[in-house]
Amino acid sequence: MKNRIIVILLLLMSIQLFSQERYLTKEGYISFFSHSLVEDIKADNYQVLSVIDKKTGEIAIQLLMKSFMFKKALMQEHFNQSYVESYKYPKATFKGYIQNLKELDVQNETVEIKGILSLHGKEKEISTIANIQILKDQINLSGHFMVEVADFDIKIPIVVRNNIAKTIKITFDLQHKPYK
């Protein structure tokens, strides 16, 4: 009888542990790249916050627009002040699901991620294929997808219209660790 209670207790505890199987990073990497005939523009952000719930496949990503680092100070200034208006919209977020995360157990695979990207006060549904690596105490996600500047109501002045691509490539590399 005593043993049975212990077994039930252990089972209950393990269920609770599983439901809290969260993986997190505060040092995720996201960059964007714009290619045009005039110039290439790249900005890196190494301060991305991302949380995965392994049980449900839910993923939530947050970043600060000001944490994007450019090669040129002037580009960074224009980006924050005129294009994405960081003072008004300081964060970009992504909320979505990693499809069929529970069924994955092979170390290297690709997964489909679907969700909503919010940026500059606008929302847009994103669907992308990412590489996933599930290790004992790590979940790594990496890949890239394209976004249209126009979808986010970002206005580029005519003078520099040729310098900035209409479609921007977003690259991500997020290495999550168990959340304690």
90 vs 143, which CB is nearer to another protein? 90
**Distance of closest approach, residue 154 Cβ to another protein, in angstroms:** 19
Residue 26 or 114 having the CB closest to another protein: 26
Find out whether 176 and 23 touch, Cβ atoms under 8 Å.
yes
What's the DSSP call for residue 21? -
Look up residue 118 and give its two tokens: 């919010």
Q: Which is nearer to another protein, 104 or 173 (CB)?
A: 173
Q: Cβ closer to another protein: 69 or 116?
A: 69
**Nearest approach, Cβ of 73 to another protein (angstroms)?**
5
Least separation in angstroms between residue 123's CB and another protein is 19
DSSP string for 86-144 = TTT--EEEEEEEETTGGG--SSEEEEEEEEEEEETTEEEEEEEEEEEEEETTEEEEEEE
Residue 49 CB, nearest distance to another protein (Å)? 5
CB-nearer residue toward another protein: 61 or 132: 61
3-state helix vs strand vs coil in the chain, percent to 5? 25, 50, 25
* Interacting residues with another protein (CB under 8 A): 26-27, 29, 46-47, 49, 62-64, 66-67, 69, 72-74, 76, 90-91
Burial of residue 9 (number of CB atoms within 10 Å: 0-12, 13-18, 19+): exposed
CB of 118 to another protein, least distance (A): 14
